[in-house]
Structure 1
């Protein structure tokens, strides 16, 4: 099983924008959802998800600890709210 796409979906609200992330796999009908909202930083989060996507596409989504470590250690926003949030 491999990750084939990562999509961001921004739901505009009055006080904050909610950011949902969809992880798509090569298995028909198998995907996952996450939430990545950081108040007042919508475009920053969407950009960070896009950058992180390059690390994750082609990887096995079942290797959760490996993927977490890879994102945490190899990303520009190492250790701050965008990656850890």
Structure 2
């Protein structure tokens, strides 16, 4: 698995909910950019965040501009079907 550094503003969330309990738990240990590693899916010209929305929110609160990501294409077919059925 290759980690790449990506600007937070370049990531497209796939959900718009942040869990308050998770946020409080993350606050205890997440302080540095190295603590924020998220899976992404490259779809057309977008980098879609598959998981870690609460972690990404915390990174933004800490003024961290870039996080580490890895490409996860295991959900590619499911995402493509879901994306195209919502158009």
Q: Same-fold call, TM > 0.5?
A: no
Q: Normalising to structure 1: TM-score of the pair?
A: 0.26
Q: Normalising to structure 2: TM-score of the pair?
A: 0.26
- By relative contact order (CA 8 Å, sep 6+), the higher-ranking structure is 2
In terms of fraction of residues, the more helix-rich structure is 2
